[in-house]
Chain A
Amino acid sequence: NAGVMQNPRHLVRRRGQEARLRCSPVKGHSHVYWYRQLPEEGLKFMVYLQKENIIDESGMPKERFSAEFPKEGPSILRIQQVVRGDSAAYFCASQGTRGDKEAFFGQGTRLTVV
Chain B
Amino acid sequence: QQQVKQSPQSLIVQKGGISIINCAYENTAFDYFPWYQQFPGKGPALLIAIRPDVSEKKEGRFTISFNKSAKQFSLHIMDSQPGDSATYFCAASNGQNFVFGPGTRLSVLP
Residues of A within 8 A of B (CB): 1, 4, 6, 33, 35, 41-45, 48, 55-56, 59, 91, 93, 98, 101-108
Contacts and interface: CB of A to CB of B under 8 A. Distances in A.
Contact of B45 (A33, A35, A105): A105
Contacts of A103: 34, 46, 93, 98
Given A102-B34, A105-B44, A107-B43, A48 B100 contact: no
A35 B46 CA distance: 15
A98 B51 CA distance: 14
A13 B51 CA distance: 42
B110 interface: no
B1 interface: no
Interface residues of B, number: 21
Contacts of A1: 42-43, 45
Contacts, number: 57
Interface in B93-110: 93, 95-103
7 contacts: A41-B102, A41-B103, A42-B101, A45-B99, A45-B100, A101-B93, A101-B95
B93 A42 contact: no
Nearest to B95: A98
A10 to B, nearest CB: 10
Contacts of B42: 1, 107-108
B44 A102 contact: no
Contacts of A59: 97
Contacts of B49: 101-102
B107 to A, nearest CB: 14
Contact of B102 (A42, A48, A107): A42
Listed residue (A35, A102, A103, A105) with the most chain B CB atoms within 10 angstroms of its CB: A103
Given A42-B102, A42-B103, A101-B32, A56 B43 contact: no
